Amino acid sequence: MGYKLINIDPTNCSFCYRMDGYDCYELRKGVCSLYMSKEKAEMIHKEEKKFGESSVMYCRDFADKLLNQDYFNSKSYQEDLYSIRTHKRDCGHYEFTDGQHRTCIAKHLNIPSMYVMLECHPSDYRVICNACHEKSEIERESKKLINKFLSIFRRGSEMPSNIIDNEYMKFKKDSNVSQIFEEELKR
């Protein structure tokens, strides 16, 4: 098993993230902090006093650092220990060994091109992402008679531990999102 450096357009890819409300502000609150004004994000941060990956400032600060380093345009960042390492599955989704926040930031900011290390290894069997596997398990379980009966009493469905980004996140397709974000950071 090895990796090869490739260039992808994250805006045209579908990713399987292992994230929930503890890892992502958008999954916790319903709106990506990258789409907020700097003032609004700072106000929320002061009110919540929350730190970590689901903080309103986590991806904003991370995006600022990545953009200032020209991270997405440089191959050299993918040659170090903390490269974005991904695996393309037969279902068409990309899964991660490392780099899901960086990739999500790129997709939210409509970065049209970025480098990743893609896992290369031949397989004799079909490999689907964890989210597709989890969906098929849920579907199979929901067909059982007892679960059909119990579903009458359940309130909504909880978010799975593996998600397909397009199903749970709202991406703006404005091509100038990254430009607006960068200009706001300069203020």
Helix, coil or strand: residue 142: helix
pTM of the predicted model, to two decimals? 0.84
Domain ranges for the chain: 2-186
Strand residue runs (E) in 2-132: 2-8, 16-17, 85-88, 94-98, 114-120
pLDDT attached to residue 74: 92
pLDDT attached to residue 64: 95
Q: Which residues pair with 19 in a beta bridge?
A: none
pLDDT attached to residue 121: 73
User: Is 101 in contact with 17 (CB distance < 8 Å)?
Assistant: no
pLDDT attached to residue 70: 94
Q: What are the CA-CA distances from residue 124 to residues 47, 90, 92, 121, 174 (Å)?
A: 53, 12, 17, 10, 41
pLDDT attached to residue 148: 65
Query: How many angstroms from the chain centroid is the CA of residue 86?
Result: 12
pLDDT attached to residue 89: 93
Mean pLDDT per 10-residue segment, the chain (187 residues): 90 92 91 93 90 93 95 90 90 93 95 93 80 84 69 62 79 74 68
